[in-house]
Structure 1
Amino acid sequence: MGAYMTQTSSNTYSAKECVSSSDLNKIEVALNTPSKQQKSSLFSSNKKVENRLHVAMGGYSIAGVRPVNQDAFSVKLPSNNNVVKYKGIVACIADGVSCSENAQQASQTSVTQFIDEYYSTPDSWNVKKSASTVLTSLNQWLYQHGQYSDLRHNGLVTTFSGVVLKSNTAHLIHVGDSRIYRYRQGKLILLTRDHCRKQKGRNSFLTRALGMDSHLEVDYQQKSIEKGDIFFLSTDGVHEWLSNNEITALIYEGKKENRDREQQAKAIIAQAQANGSDDNLSCLLLEVLDVPSLNIEEAYNQLTEKVIPPILKVGNTIDNLKVVDVIHSGTRSHVYLVKKIEDNAEAAHYILKAPSPNFAEDLLYLEGFTREHWVGCQLNNASIMKIYDHNTSSPFLYHLCEYVEGQSLRQWMYDNPKPSFESVRIIAKGMIKAIRVFQRMEMVHRDLKPENIMLAKDGRIVIIDFGTVQVDGLDEIASPVSEDVPMGSVDYIAPEYLAGERAQHQSDIFSIGVILFEMLTGKLPYVTRPSRVVQSIPHQDWHYISACQYREDIPFWLDITLKKACQPSPKLRYQAMSELQQDFTSPNPQIVAEYDKSPLIKRYPISFWKVVSLVLLVIVLAEGYFLMTIS
């Protein structure tokens, strides 16, 4: 179970333990409390887990002198290690605008729905993508329902400040005038900026908030976290009545006296009340007790925990699987056709993929192999080869994959050296469909090439290798294993990735463009160079070779489409797969017109310089002849 705490605005004390963010099978305890002392405290698990993010939390909220508490906060501390690893620990606080009768609903809805929906987003999404998607949807809901009110000031409007602690990083999401501070080594720093305009005295009005407008602009930032950090979230009923020095002193005293986080929160609120606060008061403390360590020895032990199987032969068995055929045996991996021993002769076949024993000590390769299994289990689409969860107690490291009957795109290219345009378009449509699956999950393949694409007998186009896939959500998890060089085949990798920049979805568009060019012509659109040379070539020095030079029947507009897909600069490349697919099917008048207007040096750079060289040669020869005649 995980700790899940939500401050409510009813006259109850509430603590919840739940199985998941869906709140199924939860245990609730409610205690009656005095009127106007609407308060909540946090369930905090102090069970320590080795080498993982460990956080203790506590919060408190009261109505103060107001008749209703329009503040709300919510916290989710998952006990499942994988959830903490891939999604993190979430805490948020909200303050509904006091002029609205719906403020209480707005604040409660924002904190509870944000946490529930955040944990429902794909693990492959990074925090920013997940949070922004959830908040955009939540803002639309609040804004639309607020429009139903007869009075404009009765909208569903609230501030929102959230912290997602993931691995060694704090991700801050903020809109409005609630605040997030960080207390580190005796110093308190305000991390957020108030979205409000001050008026006379302590009065102010919000300029940005959830539900205020159909368009939402949220502040997002990342901060590194250290053991001992305390993140302090508060509403204006607290921080408007306490100076930074007072908050710092109260947190320091709480730590010195070893109070729990709830008692610290109560002490802070009591001081704000004593200073004359006339608003609802809420605050929340998250203390980082431990952070994941970046230990290369631990990484080595985890990645080498399982043994790479020996090279297998037909008839060999491994974990109740019998080798029926050897599909591929190379320097990097071995691929076998297998079936379960107890199955009959007509039973389903699987692919068993195992690393080569040569990489038993290569942590980067093993990390990629492990990531491939994770990616394969995340994606459930007919265009992506399935990777099955197999015997977890097995001592061996391998993937058990879907058997895709058919031929590789490379073999198809060998068999069809001059294919029809229509047949290439059909395959292109399937490839783009498959890559879109990765893009929707915030993944970049990075190693698209004909060898990794299968043409299945049932007509599907299937991607079968994704050990180099870049996953935004995984990249946020600190690791001592990092890539020193680009991963993949140099002939198909985008120039920006080769140059050391982070790959993006336009990088896969480049690879698709190169593959389409090669399918039509049997050649590559750029001169092949060694990888160490390619990495140092700037974008402007990549010169596209027209497909028309290799195949005269290629239409001019199709060549321009290929050129744009293969643009060395990602800014000049197609920005979406759908655009490439459309232009590959029918002429795009706009890019044809743009091409016609461009200078000759851009349209035909190689031919241009050949002509210039020829002219210069003629001039030199003419001058030489002239000098000879006058002498």
Structure 2
Amino acid sequence: MAASAESLWQGTKSQLQVSVGQCSDKGRKPRNQDFHGLCVPLEPQLGSKGIAIALADGISSSDVSHIASETAVAALLSDYFSTSEAWSVKTSVTRVLSATNAWLHAQTRRGQHRYDMDRGYVCTFSALVLKSTTAHLFHVGDTRIYRLRDGALEPLTRDHRVWVGEGKSYLSRALGTGPQLEVDYQALALERGDLFLLATDGVYEFVDARVMVDCIAEHSDELQVAARHILDRALANGSDDNLTLQLVRIDSLPRAEVDDLQHKLGELPCPPVLEARMLFDGYRILRPLHVSARSHVYLASDEDSGATVVLKTPSQDLQHDAAYLERFLMEEWIARRIDSPHVLKACAPTRKRNFLYAVCEFIEGQTLAQWMIDHPRLELETVRRVVEQIARGLRAFHRLEMLHQDLRPANLMIDSSGTVKIIDFGATRVAGLQEIDGRQVDGPILGTAQYSAPEYWLGEPGTVRSEVFSLAVITYQLLSGRLPYGAGMARARTRAAQARLPYRPLAQGRELPLWLDDVLRKACHPDPRKRHEDPDEFAHALRHPGAALLGRRPLPLLERNPLLFWQLSCLLLALMLVLLLARQ
């Protein structure tokens, strides 16, 4: 059973602050099968992962249920904080619980009660993750989570219990009962003063909600005392089960503008325009690589290590644009968290920086845009190899719940060995950071029009299938030198207009498989639901089209190219008319 000492955590004014009271008792049972716990990490995890609270209740019919309870709580409080900072809370907790559920179910299947789950490694479970200004609730079973706001105690979870008669019921869902787990999830906005109450049935079935509210109000400065009093009241009212109660009050909420990135924005000035041979912050500037209205990129040498690196500095014209500077900082943050040979790597800082800039590896090669100009007629096998590498790079993003959102030839580098790397993360969306604030959720399209998925133009959020569209357009361009819809997709701002756009088949003069157009047509379909599920599936389809496409006959000209069909028809009719007139 987890410790039940009073916890009052205080941080700086810009951090999430909570007061906690926890209490557990075996009651009239010989053993306490409940388990509870709470973890408040230090920064930077407090901001990136939040505070986790968990409660598990063993079932009385099992002699090993207390092991299940302890395992479930301990796994969440340790493994959740080991998951990627880029993952959303929902993804992180769900994956931890799924792994825990699989382990518990396997233990039961190996034991003597493999056919009687009520005597196996089973428990009910509720968890609360407080991250930034949002509460994330996870629930399975009949433990409960309540919220006390403005004097009203509101239940936030529903019991997974089926009643079969008066006083008779059974759990319809719990941890460890099956190989698959279904967890209730919801996210709620936090307000200062909110109090969350997590309780087992040994408490809430024997204490009236009004009594709990009054007790918390009476001991508002000592939540540990309030928790103990509520448990004592449940025991006095005849509770015959284990009793566990957790009280968590929100004392202070973080302000969105004071996260780590914003601290860096305030502390570091933008650098001046750099010139060749200049010594800048421990780097010798060799030459400029790229200068645009959005950033300046230089080739440089690290004076300490001698390594050749790339320095990227903010645009002089945008150095007072906070949103732009935040995206600029985000690029290096993202690059440090993705480990893939097909994604640009950030260089770990070895000394204190005095200016705002990013450092990454130097790729000796050229952009895919330039490479296509130098190789105008690529073999299909070469295109396949390029696309497969891009797909592997995108997979590294998607595993961390990131979307690149600006996939285009200019943002892909190919080196002398043929290795392709994804670069430029200025438009990347990170699910885990969206939960800290809403700045990445809505806003202008940051990608390039010709390669952006059509759903972006409708104001819809991007998905993995949006990346499939961009990759398919690049593939089409590698094979034909053109775009499948020309510039029409960027001008189509309604779903109906997008659906009317004709897909232009690849040039038939090349020796390409007839089914290739079907694969590309599906991958860059205006409706994301009709595309391939992910880039890997699309890359696989470029080599393995399936029996249905291999046995398919070529489409008639009317379907492949309606404009050419009618042009030829008109030409034929005109010739017939000329012949008829000539005979008269």
TM-score (normalised: structure 2): 0.92
- One-letter amino acid of the structure 1 residue matched with residue 546 of structure 2: N
CA deviations 1:79-105 (Å, max 9, x no partner) are 22x212211110010101111000111
Equivalent in 602, 607, 612 of residue 562 of structure 2: 607
- One-letter amino acid of the structure 2 residue matched with residue 562 of structure 1: L
- One-letter amino acid of the structure 2 residue matched with residue 341 of structure 1: E
Distance 2:235 2:450 in 1: 67
Distance 1:125 1:437, change over 3 A: same
- In the alignment, what sits opposite 1:29? none
Please state how far the C-alpha of 1:518 moved relative to its aligned partner: 0.5
- One-letter amino acid of the structure 1 residue matched with residue 17 of structure 2: H
CA contact (8 A) 2:467 2:535 kept: no
CA contact (8 A) 1:61 1:281 kept: yes
Query: Counterpart of 1:287 in 2: which secondary structure?
Result: strand
Equivalent in 468, 489, 512 of residue 471 of structure 2: 512
Distance 1:252 1:395 in 2: 51
Distance 1:484 1:451 in 2: 23
Please state how far the C-alpha of 1:537 moved relative to its aligned partner: 5.4
Equivalent in 49, 61, 79 of residue 42 of structure 2: 79
Please state how far the C-alpha of 1:328 moved relative to its aligned partner: 0.8
Distance 1:356 1:59 in 2: 52
Runs of 4+ in 1 over 6 A off after TM superposition: 296-301, 595-601, 612-615
- In the alignment, what sits opposite 1:380? 339
CA deviations 1:268-326 (Å, max 9, x no partner) are 11111111111000010111111122459998775354222121110112101110111
- One-letter amino acid of the structure 1 residue matched with residue 8 of structure 2: S
Does the alignment pair 1:410 with 2:379?
no
Distance 1:463 1:131 in 2: 29
Does the alignment pair 1:59 with 2:32?
no
The two structures, once aligned, show a CA RMSD in angstroms of 2.8
Unaligned regions of 5+ residues in structure 1, if any?
1-6, 9-13, 15-39, 623-631
After TM superposition, the structure 1 = structure 2 runs for residues 432-447 of structure 1, keeping only pairs within 5 Å, are 432-447=391-406
Equivalent in 193, 198, 206 of residue 228 of structure 1: 193
- One-letter amino acid of the structure 2 residue matched with residue 499 of structure 1: L
- One-letter amino acid of the structure 2 residue matched with residue 172 of structure 1: L
- In the alignment, what sits opposite 1:167? 132
- In the alignment, what sits opposite 1:554? 512
Equivalent in 216, 219, 224 of residue 181 of structure 2: 216
Query: Counterpart of 1:94 in 2: which secondary structure?
Result: strand
Distance 1:295 1:399 in 2: 21
CA contact (8 A) 1:363 1:481 kept: no
Equivalent in 88, 91, 101 of residue 63 of structure 2: 101
- In the alignment, what sits opposite 2:547? 589
Query: Counterpart of 2:187 in 1: which secondary structure?
Result: strand
- One-letter amino acid of the structure 2 residue matched with residue 331 of structure 1: A
Distance 2:411 2:155 in 1: 49
* Greater RCO (Cα-Cα under 8 Å, separation 6 or more): 2
Query: Counterpart of 2:515 in 1: which secondary structure?
Result: helix
Query: Counterpart of 1:129 in 2: which secondary structure?
Result: helix
- One-letter amino acid of the structure 2 residue matched with residue 131 of structure 1: V
CA contact (8 A) 2:471 2:535 kept: no
Does the alignment pair 1:148 with 2:99?
no
Please state how far the C-alpha of 1:496 moved relative to its aligned partner: 0.9
Distance 2:19 2:65 in 1: 29
Equivalent in 66, 76, 98 of residue 114 of structure 1: 76
After TM superposition, the structure 1 = structure 2 runs for residues 132-147 of structure 1, keeping only pairs within 5 Å, are 132-147=94-109
- In the alignment, what sits opposite 2:8? 44
CA contact (8 A) 1:296 1:481 kept: no
After TM superposition, the structure 1 = structure 2 runs for residues 518-529 of structure 1, keeping only pairs within 5 Å, are 518-529=477-488
- In the alignment, what sits opposite 1:399? 358
After TM superposition, the structure 1 = structure 2 runs for residues 133-532 of structure 1, keeping only pairs within 5 Å, are 133-151=95-113, 152=116, 153-198=118-163, 202-255=167-220, 258=221, 260-294=222-256, 303-342=265-304, 347-390=306-349, 393-479=352-438, 483-529=442-488, 531=490
TM-score (normalised: structure 1): 0.85
Distance 2:510 2:439 in 1: 52
- In the alignment, what sits opposite 2:580? none
Please state how far the C-alpha of 1:543 moved relative to its aligned partner: 2.4
Query: How many residues were matched structurally?
Result: 573
- One-letter amino acid of the structure 2 residue matched with residue 122 of structure 1: S
Please state how far the C-alpha of 1:610 moved relative to its aligned partner: 6.2
Distance 1:50 1:177, change over 3 A: same
CA deviations 1:548-588 (Å, max 9, x no partner) are 36x54332111211111111111100002232112212432
Distance 2:143 2:527 in 1: 42
CA contact (8 A) 2:329 2:358 kept: no
- One-letter amino acid of the structure 2 residue matched with residue 317 of structure 1: L
CA contact (8 A) 1:600 1:608 kept: no
Distance 1:112 1:235 in 2: 18
Distance 2:564 2:266 in 1: 54
Distance 1:49 1:68 in 2: 41
CA contact (8 A) 1:58 1:265 kept: yes
- One-letter amino acid of the structure 1 residue matched with residue 312 of structure 2: K
Distance 1:55 1:599 in 2: 68
CA contact (8 A) 1:96 1:106 kept: yes
- One-letter amino acid of the structure 2 residue matched with residue 236 of structure 1: D
Distance 1:528 1:263, change over 3 A: same
CA contact (8 A) 1:238 1:283 kept: yes
CA contact (8 A) 2:137 2:186 kept: yes
Give the % identical residues: 35
